[in-house]
Chains A and B, each alone.
Chain A
Amino acid sequence: QQPVQSPQAVILREGEDAVINCSSSKALYSVHWYRQKHGEAPIFLMILLKGGEQKGHDKISASFNEKKQQSSLYLTASQLSYSGTYFCGTEGDGNKLVFGAGTILRVKS
Chain B
Amino acid sequence: DTGVSQDPRHKITKRGQNVTFRCDPISEHNRLYWYRQTLGQGPEFLTYFQNEAQLEKSRLLSDRFSAERPKGSFSTLEIQRTEQGDSAMYLCASGSGNQPQHFGDGTRLSIL
Contact = CB atoms under 8 A, between A and B. Distances in A.
- Mostly, the B contact residues are strand
Contacts, number: 56
Interface string B75-111: 0000000000000000100010010111111100000
A96 B105 contact: no
Interface in A22-79: 30, 32, 34, 40-44, 47, 49
B55 to A, nearest CB: 8
Nearest to B50: A95
Contact of A102 (B4, B42, B105): B42
B51 to A, nearest CB: 13
Interface string A76-109: 0000000000010100001111111110000000
Interface residues of B, number: 24
A49 B98 contact: yes
Contact of B43 (A43, A49, A87, A95): A87
A41 B104 contact: yes
B103 A95 contact: no
B31 interface: yes
A53 B95 CA distance: 22
A89 B41 CA distance: 12
B101 A97 contact: yes
B48 A96 contact: yes
A96 B106 CA distance: 18
B101 A32 contact: yes
B45 A98 contact: yes
Contacts of A89: 42-43, 101
B102 A44 contact: yes
Given A40-B105, A44-B101, 8 more contacts: A34-B103, A42-B43, A47-B98, A87-B42, A95-B95, A97-B33, A97-B101, A101-B42
